[in-house]
Amino acid sequence: MRGKRTLIRRIYEQLLKAYGPQHWWPAEGEDELIIGIVLTQNAAWSNVERALSRLKEAGACDLRSALSLPDARLAELIRPAGYFNLKTRRLKAVARYFIERWDCDYASMRRADPMELREELLGVYGLGRESVDCVLLYLLGFPVFVIDAYTLRIGARHGLFAEGASYEEARRIFESALPCDAAQFNEYHALLVQVGKHQCKPKPRCEGCPLNQRRNFPDPAALPGHNQR
């Protein structure tokens, strides 16, 4: 436990030294940050940037404008971010929540109890654990450690937790190893994404398995024993 804590802290120091402060989240305003959180779900950030630019050009890079667009129009604008029909539904549900529940009053949200708010946000269609924690940390400044695919991959490879560890398990391990400091949680997650993008590619699912070599995988119709007509 003690060694794990030291390792987590040392990894942070080394990443900060190597990459420098990341100044996250990369958004111009609060609404754009929320929209970016939804659009970046399982998408490359470069594609999200295209979608955000298109929204800005259309004057719809804020929650009220986005919500007021017809679905087909919004979907067309966010098309480069992928899953555009799905993300249209999610974006509208999320926008509706912030508008109707909070009137987009983020200062008021910052006065809420963070863990009660976390539960509430998890009930919003389109927001899973990572997106909710991004809202809590990057939008509202609460000290919640964001876990993503990079964090799970890097953490598992460094023995911080088992491969296949759950989101909550990974979050607990990072949060208990570090001082409860939103600024550091912010920086650490951003650094993990930075190093993950460039130096921590996923392992092949099953090394040597013929199912991973689709290019050479035989057509079942050509296999011996297949009834050819």
Footprint of DNA (CB under 7 A): 24-26, 36-37, 40-47, 50, 79-80, 82-87, 90, 124-132, 134, 138, 148-150, 164, 166, 193, 196-197, 201-202, 204-205, 212, 214-215
Q: From the CB of 53, what's the least distance to DNA, in Å?
A: 12
User: What are the tokens at 20?
Assistant: 């420098």
Q: From the CB of 128, what's the least distance to DNA, in Å?
A: 2
Report yes or no: 138 and 186 within 8 Å, Cβ to Cβ: yes
Q: From the CB of 107, what's the least distance to DNA, in Å?
A: 22
Nearer to DNA, 11 or 91 (CB): 91
Nearer to DNA, 5 or 16 (CB): 16
Q: From the CB of 8, what's the least distance to DNA, in Å?
A: 19
Rounded (5°) CA angle 127-90-125 = 45
Nearer to DNA, 126 or 177 (CB): 126
Within the chain, residue ranges assigned H as helices are 2-19, 30-39, 45-57, 63-68, 71-77, 84-102, 106-110, 114-122, 129-134, 149-157, 167-177, 182-199
CA dihedral 168→169→171→175, nearest 10 degrees, is 130
Nearer to DNA, 6 or 149 (CB): 149
